[in-house]
Amino acid sequence: MSVGAIILCGGKSSRMTVPKATLPFGRETLLERVVRICAEELSPIVVVAASQQTLPPLDEQVLVTHDRRAGRGPLEGLSAGLAAIQPFAEAAYVTSCDVPFLNPEFIRTLVDRLDTHDVVVPCDEKYHHPLAAVYRTSILPDVEALLAQDRMRPLFLFDAVNTLRIRTTQLRHVDPDLRSLMNLNQPADYFAALELAGLHASPELRERFQSD
């Protein structure tokens, strides 16, 4: 089965105060890092950006598409990504651009569980992780139908199609600390992730947040 990746980076980053996709993480940006990690397992890679969004330089093989309507959440990005990747892949791992510790083995484990399902999504007691899940490209009409009805919660999609929910505890054998699910929502998260990775946040970088 051919499996690609869809990386959503068109969110407003309102809590972060600066665009997440362009934040430096070592010698690459967050978006470049997630693209690189996904490319270890998956092809092609589709990046879904907001209209007029500025992106860091990406490999020419990365496909870039855009949300058709702003402010409509992850289902809008999923729709654009599935439409772009459908000619090339039967399924796609979908992620945000702010997960610097995404583990290729974590991705592989979810892909291996797809089998006859339409979606494989990690969940814990209270929360599903729609941006750490595998989707068949054939569910695009289901996504578009929900958007047309303004039913934009991913949970509506999971209830509408054949979804396998995997407890996050079942994924600890490949990702003991579940760092693949560690997304960065605000500056404190970002600086903590840099420290965890052994990277230095320069005074100029810290000042960038203060000025914004």
Please, what are the domains in the chain?
3-205 (3.90.550.10)
Which of 16-20, 71-75, 133-137 ranks highest by mean pLDDT? 133-137
With 80 as the cut, is the pLDDT of residue 98 above it? yes
What's the mean pLDDT in 41-68?
Answer: 92
With 70 as the cut, is the pLDDT of residue 129 above it? yes
Residue in 153, 151, 157, 114 with CA at minimum distance from that of residue 136 = 114
Could you read off the pLDDT of 34-46 as tens digits, one per residue? 999 999 999 999 9
Sorting pLDDT into bands at 50, 70 and 90, what band is 19? confident
Q: Please report the pLDDT score of residue 212 as a whole number.
A: 54
Q: Measured between alpha carbons, how far is 191 from 106 in angstroms, rounded to an integer?
A: 24
With 90 as the cut, is the pLDDT of residue 16 above it? no
Q: Measured between alpha carbons, how far is 111 from 109 in angstroms, rounded to an integer?
A: 6
With 70 as the cut, is the pLDDT of residue 154 above it? yes
Sorting pLDDT into bands at 50, 70 and 90, what band is 15? confident
Q: Please report the pLDDT score of residue 26 as a whole number.
A: 93
Tell which wins on pLDDT, 33 or 67: 33
With 70 as the cut, is the pLDDT of residue 209 above it? yes
Q: Please report the pLDDT score of residue 210 as a whole number.
A: 63
Q: Please report the pLDDT score of residue 68 as a whole number.
A: 87
Query: Beta strand pairing status for 28-29 and 63-66?
Result: unpaired
Q: Please report the pLDDT score of residue 126 as a whole number.
A: 80
With 60 as the cut, is the pLDDT of residue 147 above it? yes
Q: In whole numbers, what is the pLDDT of the chain averaged over residues?
A: 93
Q: What is the per-residue burial (b if ≥16 Cβ within 10 Å, else e) of 33-57?
A: bbbebbbebbebbbbbbbeebebbe
Q: Please report the pLDDT score of residue 211 as a whole number.
A: 58
